[in-house]
Structure 1
Amino acid sequence: MLYFLQQVLNGLHSGALYALLAFGYALTNGILHRTNLAYGGIFAFSGQTLILVAVYGWQVLWLTLPATIALGVLAAFIYAVLLGRLLAAGVFAPLATRSPNAIAAATLGVLIVLQELSRIAADTHDYWLPPMLAYPVVLAAGPNFHATLTVIQLMNCGLAIAVLLVAGLLLARTSFGRNWRAVCDDPQAAALCGIDPGLIFTRAILAGGLFAALAGIMAALYYGNIGFGAGLTYGLKVLFVTAVGGYLSPAYAALGAAAFGMAESLWAGYFPIEWRDAWMLGLLALLLVLIGSNRDAKTI
């Protein structure tokens, strides 16, 4: 029983990262209505930026560990904002009215560029952060087994929950949230009501990028490293999870992503981990087929 509890606790942390990514992706996709393959790239690029800047601050600037981590976090958020503005103005706005495949192809190119920039900046080396707040906190104990979470896991979960709750309230009760829903439903009608769709579009892209950056920073601090190909893997998972949860409800998308993270952890605890991604993506694809068939049946 304690082993099962340990897998559930591990799933809480994975689910928190996925929930942040799904909330931000739903913000972007709800207004864009196009597949954004660059979103996972922002996640991985932000985490890698944190690691590379932290290594530079430690080895070249001789900063203390807290100072170099803070510098890396600041750089990651700055790059996320710059990427968000570049994507909004240079990719999404010109292609928003074109074929859906145009944005999918363009964002795939952006993802590849971000991966290559990270690889070149790191000189194809993997840099690792030292263990951060990896002290175990015992949450349940038995004769031969303790169910624990580390301090960094607890902090990441608490921060993710707080950010998602605040973001959900802001989206539900502020003028930006109302305007975002209006533009998602019909941008032309929203414009006739005095809403600036372009401004809402840009703000939604920037907000989505900040959510991806926060998840990337949390992942980098916990794992110590993010691989160059992590952007594509996480991007595909979040794409499928958000499609199941619904693009027009960031809160539902976050809940679905948290459940997915929990399922991933349980799989890793009881089944061969090398088959985890294949089976989980297959399950998501099956859910999409079932949901699509159900919607078609209701339409008929």
Structure 2
Amino acid sequence: MAYLLQQLANAVPLAALYAALAFGYSIGFGVTRRADITYGALFAFSGQMLLLFTDFGYSRLFLILPAALLLGAAVSLAYALGAGLLIGRGIMMPLARKSPNTVIVAALGMTIILGETARLAANSRDLWLPPLLNNAIVFWSDGSFQVTLTLIQLINVAAMSAIVLAGHLVLTRTPWGRIWRAVTDDALAAELCGTSAARVFLVAYCVSALVATVCGILSTAYYGTMDFGAGLLFGLKVLMIAAVGGYFDPLRSALGAAAVGLFQTLWDAYGPFVWRDLVIFSLLVFLLVVSRRERVIP
């Protein structure tokens, strides 16, 4: 029983990460209407920039670790958001209007560029952060076994949950949320009503990039590193897990992704690890096929 409780506790941080990533992805998907693995690339890129500039601040500028981390986080935000703005304005928006299917090809190109940029900047070195805020918080104990999470896990869960909650409130309770829904439903009709679909596209894409960036920074601070090939992996994974709850409703997408995080953790605990990714991706494909809804995407 205690072991199961520990695994359920372990599932919470992963479920929160998947939920936040899926929520941000759905906001961007609403305006692009095409699979965009650039989102995962921005997630990985932000983590890689955090590592690179934290190392620079600590090794070259001789900053103390907290100051080096703040420098890394600030530069990571600037670089990743700048990349998201450039990609959204200069590549995705023109392609989505003229030839939507090319968005998929362009996303693959952007993923390669971002990953290789980070790799070359780091000289192909695997950088690691020291363990951060890894104090164990005990939730339950039977004397011989304790159910715990670390402080940084709790901080990440709180931050990512806040992203989903705040984003949902903005989308459902504010004028911008209504405008976003209008553009995602019918951009031309929204234009005829006086809304700038281009501006909404750019803001939505940047918000999506912001969510990916914050999640990348928080995840890297917890796991300690970010692989150079993680952009493609997370791009494909987020693309799949976000579809479980449906791309067109960010909250449902987040809840579906959280369920995937729970399943993945339980499989790690009770199933053979070597089959994990095959089983999860196969299950996601199956769910997409049996729950597919026909919707015209212009």
Q: CA deviation at 1:163?
A: 1.9
TM-score, L = length of structure 2: 0.96
Q: Distance in 1 between matches of 2:200 and 2:97?
A: 16
TM-score, L = length of structure 1: 0.95
Residue 34 (structure 1) aligns with = 34
Q: Distance in 1 between matches of 2:78 and 2:166?
A: 22
Q: Distance in 1 between matches of 2:52 and 2:20?
A: 23
Q: Does 1:153 align with 2:153?
A: yes
Q: CA RMSD in A?
A: 1.1
Q: Distance in 1 between matches of 2:29 and 2:195?
A: 19
Give the secondary-structure state (helix, strand or coil) at the position aligned to 1:139: strand
Identity %: 46
Q: CA deviation at 1:153?
A: 0.2
Give the secondary-structure state (helix, strand or coil) at the position aligned to 1:66: helix
Specify the code of the residue in structure 1 equivalent to 2:187. P
Q: CA deviation at 1:244?
A: 2.2
Q: Distance in 2 between matches of 1:54 and 1:34?
A: 35
Q: Is the 1:242–1:257 contact (alpha carbons within 8 Å) kept by the matching residues of 2?
A: yes
Q: Distance in 2 between matches of 1:99 and 1:273?
A: 41
Question: Once the two structures are superposed, what CA deviation does each residue of 1:81-108 show, in whole Å capped at 9, x if it has no partner?
Answer: 2111111121112211344431111110
Residue 206 (structure 2) aligns with = 206
1:79-228 mapped onto 2 (5 Å cutoff): 79-228=79-228
Q: Is the 1:245–1:256 contact (alpha carbons within 8 Å) kept by the matching residues of 2?
A: yes
Count of matched residue pairs: 294
Q: Does 1:289 align with 2:286?
A: no
Q: Give unpaired runs (5+ residues) of structure 1.
A: none
Q: Does 1:65 align with 2:70?
A: no
Q: Distance in 2 between matches of 1:175 and 1:274?
A: 47
Specify the code of the residue in structure 2 equivalent to 1:160. M
Give the secondary-structure state (helix, strand or coil) at the position aligned to 1:245: coil
- Give every structure 1 segment of 4 or more consecutive aligned residues whose post-TM-superposition deviation is greater than 2 Å: 97-101
Q: CA deviation at 1:143?
A: 3.2
Give the secondary-structure state (helix, strand or coil) at the position aligned to 2:291: helix
Q: CA deviation at 1:238?
A: 1.1
Give the secondary-structure state (helix, strand or coil) at the position aligned to 1:97: helix
Q: Distance in 2 between matches of 1:43 and 1:27?
A: 15
Q: Give unpaired runs (5+ residues) of structure 2.
A: none
Using the TM superposition, name which of 266-275 and 211-220 deviates more: 266-275
Residue 239 (structure 1) aligns with = 239
Q: Does 1:17 align with 2:8?
A: no
Q: Is the 2:32–2:93 contact (alpha carbons within 8 Å) kept by the matching residues of 1?
A: no
Question: Once the two structures are superposed, what CA deviation does each residue of 1:253-286 show, in whole Å capped at 9, x if it has no partner?
Answer: 1111111111111111111222211110110000
Specify the code of the residue in structure 2 equivalent to 1:217. I
Specify the code of the residue in structure 2 equivalent to 1:224. G
Question: Once the two structures are superposed, what CA deviation does each residue of 1:121-180 show, in whole Å capped at 9, x if it has no partner?
Answer: 111111100000011111111232111000000111011112211111011111110000
